[in-house]
A and B are shown apart, each in its own frame.
Chain A
């Protein structure tokens, strides 16, 4: 709503906004600017020998992950929305549980299970009395293993967006299709899928961005992708400049999917039915179809959540339960929780600040800035870490260490900055959607009652947005807890988090020890997921 009053306070708000914007944007600007700098012999080496391999592996990975996660994401969303079958009611929300499992934890579980001396092979050898070196499963430490791991941890992004789209498809449209002679299969392929296409592509773009950003799983499976290339160039060749140039290429690659996601999301509002909405009538499945539908939905849940949970619980409880009280675990746990809460509070405050100003300020610059800040989630942690290190080195070398005797590089500030840039979108989405539910007339009337904007903020907006604030905090905390590459690089010396501790143990093949922090990451990640599933259930149009 337009508001008024040209005064100093207004300019100081604007200054604050631009300051936040520049702090967010500078690390990325550093990375991108490397493209216009000098290219050394390491770059030539990358071009001549390994870059093609990184590109090919990344493309193969996203191709395989896209196919598999589309099948399970869209398929399960369609079945859950349109059919009644056994155990459907708990599967409806349980299908998003794999979101709590970071791909690198599933990767560790997979090798712990399916390697030659993994638990699954040991068990089968015991039953079949086979040779000690006989393996019942193919090697999972390759690109195919990585495809399975990413697909079964990331398909919920597609499940969520596709399910929302299917829920919003009116029965009237489906019935119109039937009247025009379409069979069940044709209704799915010719009507439901085209209508849900923007939502499905938006979900798929998220899956692809997450896949390209990952470091932990591909590193564990030894699949050389872009992120591995950046890491190796930086820490193997000690060449930060070439690492930044490689990171810029990854950023350009990811931008394509980010733009695609944004375009498709914009189309979503046109594909939803509104005034003529009738909820879809569910068909009850019987016999083998009933069982098949259950198995189809249960499979991704089993592989993406139950298998890793059972395995890491087994390791943590039966082999290393005392680790829950070890110094390493407790310190990492406390560090992680403190970082998560700090990042959660800062992100939520920023999101609140922007959305509150958007309510009262004219001009599209605020929307533009908020949109740009929200793009941070698509930037791989590793790329962010490169940019932040470069930015902080510049500050330290030129101002802080000489003038203030302060060094930012290797401090907790860099880590927090990376978390905030990566998680701001989560906080903003929660607060923005909360604000969308508050009628502007409430602000107008409040102002006419002679109350200040300060009072409106604290006595109207904050109480009305309690759920959004909580959701925002939980989502950011769970994202921070899972974040691995940025933490690995930016953490202060001798400062470990749960993700880093898991990674270090897993890298040393000490899977039992890795289980304790891993299980905690998953358990904390489950909290926002329960909230999310409740929100989805309540978002159905026509719900009484």
Chain B
């Protein structure tokens, strides 16, 4: 594994109110191709950490570097759409009016043929190519999550953030999707931060497992 750092967070603080600070002077380093698991109880700030990295929340203080580029300065935060960081959420958030292929193509640029090929490649890798023409409401929870992961990976971000991606799946499906997704990340050399409350998910899926406690990352 390469030792080059892809994401670096220094002294990050964040809270939704002055009284309750979720993240306090948090530091985190993620290497290229590494999969980091963040465990923690509900409401402790796991999702907020991902939202700050992807640019959906603004930290109170601290710095976030991605591929050696500073994402937030005083009075300026790089917008989410310019970060090239993928996001997969527990709700899947598939576009209900688009079919599976159109969902995966949504974030792609280039010719129609190029977009089709790229989308089909990732659907193929996640074994979801057989439902390419189906609408999202015709898929099971596990199938929808495969499509959501394919959609996030298709623009080929170097970093993918996953918020409880397996939590709504039953045990067998969870195991299969976990294993397929990990293999794919390793094959595409995609770095990943996954937040979960499930230790088994973190243990089986990640290279490094950590815990968010008292606003800071503690490696296990």
Contact = CB atoms under 8 A, between A and B. Distances in A.
Given A452-B81, A459-B106, A4 B95 contact: no
Contact of B93 (A5, A444, A452, A459): A444
B87 interface: yes
Nearest to B75: A6
A179 B148 CA distance: 49
A544 to B, nearest CB: 15
Contacts of A459: 106
Given A439-B93, A441-B89, A442-B95, A451 B106 contact: yes
Contact of A1 (B56, B79, B151, B152): B56
Nearest to A449: B107
Question: Which among B89, B151, B155, B161 has the highest number of chain A CB atoms within 10 Å?
Answer: B89
Contacts of A450: 81-84, 107, 155
Contacts of A451: 81, 106-107
A442 B93 contact: yes
A450 B83 CA distance: 7
A447 B89 CA distance: 13
Interface string A74-87: 00000000000000
Contacts of A441: 89, 91, 93
Contacts of A8: none
Given A439-B91, A449-B107, A464-B96, A4 B85 contact: no
Contacts of B89: 441, 444-445
A448 B96 contact: no
Contacts of A460: 95, 97
Contact of A6 (B76, B83, B151): B76
B54 interface: yes
A448 B80 contact: yes
Nearest to B57: A2
A287 interface: no
B55 interface: yes
A455 B82 CA distance: 14
A62 B106 CA distance: 55
A449 B56 contact: no
A37 interface: no
Contacts of B106: 446, 449, 451, 459
A456 to B, nearest CB: 9
A6 B78 CA distance: 10
A404 interface: no
B28 interface: no
A445 B87 contact: yes
Interface in B99-127: 106-107
Contacts of A442: 93, 95
A445 B104 CA distance: 12
Contacts, number: 80
Contacts of B75: 6
Contact of A447 (B56, B58, B77, B148): B56
Contacts of B152: 445, 448-449
Interface residues of B, number: 32
Interface in A277-309: none
A463 interface: yes
A180 interface: no
A403 interface: no
Nearest to B80: A447
A444 B56 contact: yes
Nearest to A452: B81
Contacts of A1: 56
Contacts of A453: 81
Given A451-B107, A459-B106, A2 B56 contact: yes
Contacts of B88: 445
A3 B51 CA distance: 11
Contacts of A5: 76-77, 79
B170 to A, nearest CB: 22
Contacts of B54: 444, 447-448
B86 interface: yes
B148 to A, nearest CB: 8
Question: Which among A4, A6, A451, A463 has the highest number of chain B CB atoms within 10 Å?
Answer: A4
Contact of A464 (B57, B80, B86, B97): B97
A453 to B, nearest CB: 8
B96 to A, nearest CB: 7
Interface in A422-474: 439, 441-442, 444-453, 459-460, 463-464
Nearest to A447: B80
Nearest to B161: A448
A469 to B, nearest CB: 13
A131 to B, nearest CB: 69
Contact of A4 (B55, B86, B151): B55
A419 to B, nearest CB: 31
A453 B57 CA distance: 17
Interface in B161-196: 161
B87 A448 contact: yes
Contacts of A6: 75-76
Interface string A1-26: 11111100000000000000000000
Contacts of A445: 87-89, 93, 148, 151-152
18 contacts: A3-B79, A4-B55, A4-B77, A444-B54, A444-B80, A444-B89, A444-B93, A445-B87, A447-B54, A447-B80, A448-B83, A448-B86, A448-B87, A449-B106, A449-B151, A451-B81, A451-B107, A464-B97
Given A444-B51, A449-B86, 19 more contacts: A2-B58, A3-B80, A4-B55, A6-B75, A6-B76, A441-B91, A442-B95, A444-B80, A444-B89, A444-B93, A445-B89, A445-B93, A447-B79, A450-B84, A451-B81, A451-B106, A460-B95, A464-B95, A464-B96
Interface of A: 1-6, 439, 441-442, 444-453, 459-460, 463-464
Interface of B: 51, 54-58, 75-77, 79-89, 91, 93, 95-97, 106-107, 148, 151-152, 155, 161
What 5 pairs across the A-B complex have the smallest Cβ distances?
A449-B107, A448-B87, A447-B80, A441-B93, A445-B93
